[in-house]
Amino acid sequence: MPTDLTRATAAALADALATKTISSVEVTQAHLDRIAAVDGQVHAYLHVDSEGALAQARAIDERRGAGESLSTLAGVPIAVKDVMTTKGLPTTCGSKILEGWIPPYDATVVTKLREAGLPILGKTNMDEFAMGSSTEHSAYGPSRNPWDLERIPGGSGGGSSSVLASFQAPLATGTDTGGSIRQPAAVTATVGTKPTYGGVSRYGLVALASSLDQAGPCGRTVLDTALLHAVMGGHDPMDSTSIDAPVPPVVEAARAADVRGMRVGVVKELGGTGYQPGVRARFDESVALLEELGAEVVEVSCPNFDYALAAYYLILPSEASSNLAKFDAMRYGLRVLPDGVDDPSAEQVMAATRDAGFGPEVKRRIILGTYALSSGYYDAYYGSAQKVRALIAEDFANAYEKVDVLVSPTAPTTAFKLGDKLEDPMAMYLNDIATIPANLAGVPGMSIPSGLADEDGLPAGIQILAPATKDERLYSVGAALEAALLDRWGGPILDRAPELGGVAAAKGA
């Protein structure tokens, strides 16, 4: 156990808590101190709930003291993405339109965290309504990448990834509609899983695109991520798309860390042009390591993946335009009265509120989606996109006849500079070129760090994909590769990130 509790893995904290070597109050306080010291620079949290977290920690310590048997992660604190409703705690989804809204209920994922005894440190920053790859679309300002504060921590879940990479929480939650768990993990040298669609409840998640959204676990190691996956996952009668089956054996797989005899397919279409050389190099090295570990590696072609991005940017805005219709100035948060209108109509209030409350990216997608769904265009756009979606699912099915898992780089580049892609939506969208196919097909995916790119010394990620409901395979491959990379780099890749506390102290923060 490191003397600084914020540097410990969730698994190590859980063990020390179970043997009463440390208390949950100590662990929680250590993280709250760390937040106070560094979040001024990182801006990973939108809301910190010190009192609530310490109260939960005290309750867990008391229950443990009374000899109650508790769940594995009981007492380990966590950060929650602000897309998940939290009873009594603000939930803004990174939008002005939800400013001041205090949900009257918990998302099922949050209920599960509370029941398992994980103190909730606070809510993490995100692109508005989870639209983006950088957190720059947050109405509350961007989060920063702890590797370089002038760079993006990925998005939309950049708050959760930067919380982990700056040791402000040992665990965090995310949601992944097109890559928002995996891409932030890749650019910060952390780990994130998008489970099989339906594997984790969507009840209480502010919906972006309901057929693509999936909540999942974020951690600094594969085992930590598996432990959290086991807590978050499982059937929920409140979500009609939830899978009625036990959570796949993710923790066992992470502990076994065995890839011997596994068939690994390198996706031909996810690589090559557009991918940064250093990202490619770390990917090729990881694939070679998998082969050394006893996996059988082959190349697999998924020809329709070339159309995934185009299909996604029709299906997502279509569903989003419908989901966001509920922000009507009557039910939640913000209400703006139109200027210079006496006795405005409901429609005028709605228009003024949506104009003031939604940012430019959200408006862009509502307009795109409304257009794609309008009569006369529905078949040409939305209908065609749905056909492409079926073809992509077929590509996966064909691939999984030959291999057990697929691999690719997670994101085409390392973290870019804040502002670099903000004015160019297409450039921003291209960040998810490798992650989107999994959402369209509903299959699970994970990103783990693959090393640092030679050109810029920044983290790169490798993505592992598995067939639906076979999430445990991600953890077998992820944990085996993580161990091999630990040897290759002489320790966790994240240990090479600059020490923010030091920077804060030097600046007198």
Please list the active-site residues: 81, 156, 180
**Number of residues near ligand GLN (by CB under 6 A):** 14
Closest approach of ligand GLN to the CB of residue 424, in Å: 13
Q: Which is nearer to ligand GLN, 132 or 333 (CB)?
A: 132
Nearest distance from C-beta of residue 216 to ligand GLN, angstroms: 10
Interaction of residue 132 with ligand GLN, rule CB under 6 A: yes
Part of the chain binding ligand GLN (CB under 6 A), chosen from 171-179, 246-254, 278-286, 457-465:
171-179
Of 35, 316, 368, 403, the one binding ligand GLN by CB under 6 A: 316
> How far apart are CB 443 and ligand GLN at their closest, in Å?
15
* Of 170, 160, 151, nearest in space to 194 by CA: 160
Closer residue to ligand GLN in complex, CB, 295/316: 316
Residue 67 backbone zone (phi > 0: left; psi -120 to 50: alpha; other: beta): left
Task: Specify the residue, 204 or 265, whose C-beta has the smaller distance to ligand GLN.
Answer: 204
CB atoms within 10 A of CB 352: 19
**35 counts as binding ligand GLN under rule CB under 6 A:** no
Distant-in-sequence, close-in-space partners of 49: CB < 8 Å, separation ≥ 6: 89, 120, 121, 122, 123
List the interface residues with ligand GLN, window 360-399 (CB under 6 A): none
Amino acid in position 438: A
CA 467/CA 442 separation, integer angstroms: 9
- Specify the residue, 180 or 408, whose C-beta has the smaller distance to ligand GLN: 180
Q: Name the one range near ligand GLN by CB under 6 A: 57-65, 108-116, 128-136, 262-270.
A: 128-136
Whole-number Å distance between alpha carbons of 83 and 393: 27
- 434-436-442 Cα angle (round to 5): 125
> Which of the ranges 127-135, 251-259, 276-284, 483-491 carries the binding residues for ligand GLN, by CB under 6 A?
127-135
Residue 174's nearest CA partner among 114, 133, 218 is 218
**Residue of 39, 136, 176, 472 interacting with ligand GLN (CB under 6 A):** 176
User: What's the closest the beta carbon of residue 255 comes to ligand GLN, in angstroms?
Assistant: 29
For the CB of residue 415, give the shortest distance to ligand GLN in the complex, in Å. 14
Give 134's DSSP letter.
S
Among residues 24, 143, 166, 180, which is the contact residue for ligand GLN, using CB under 6 A?
180
Among 56, 91, 92, 133, binds ligand GLN (CB under 6 A): 133
Site map 206..225 versus ligand GLN, x via CB under 6 A: --x-----------------
Closest approach of Cβ 323 to ligand GLN, in Å? 12
What is the helix, strand, coil percentage profile of the chain, to 5?
Answer: 45, 15, 40
DSSP string, 387-450: HHHHHHHHHHHHHHHH-SEEEEESSSSSPPBTTSSTT-HHHHHGGGTTTHHHHHHT--EEEEEE
Interaction of residue 311 with ligand GLN, rule CB under 6 A: no
CA 466, 472, 474, 479: dihedral to nearest 10 degrees? -160
Collapsing DSSP to helix, strand or coil, 452 comes out as strand
| Interface map 78-117 toward ligand GLN (x if CB under 6 A) | ----------------------------------------
SS (H, E, C) 54-117: HHHHHHHHHHHHCCCCCCCCCCCCEEEECCECECCECCCCCCHHHCCCCCCCCCHHHHHHHHCC
3-class secondary-structure state, position 238: coil
Asked whether 214 and 247 are in contact (CB, 8 A), the reply is no
Q: How far is the CB of 185 from ligand GLN (least distance, A)?
A: 12
Considering the rule CB under 6 A, would residue 177 count as an interface residue with ligand GLN?
yes
Q: What would the two tokens of residue 306 be? A: 């070339």
Note whether 432 binds ligand GLN by CB under 6 A. Answer: yes
- Is 370 exposed, middle or buried, given 0-12, 13-18 or 19+ CB atoms closer than 10 A? middle
Min CB(50)–ligand GLN separation in Å? 28
In this structure, the chain runs to a length of 509
Residue 426 or 506 having the CB closest to ligand GLN: 426
The residues binding ligand GLN (CB under 6 A) are 130-133, 156, 175-180, 208, 316, 432
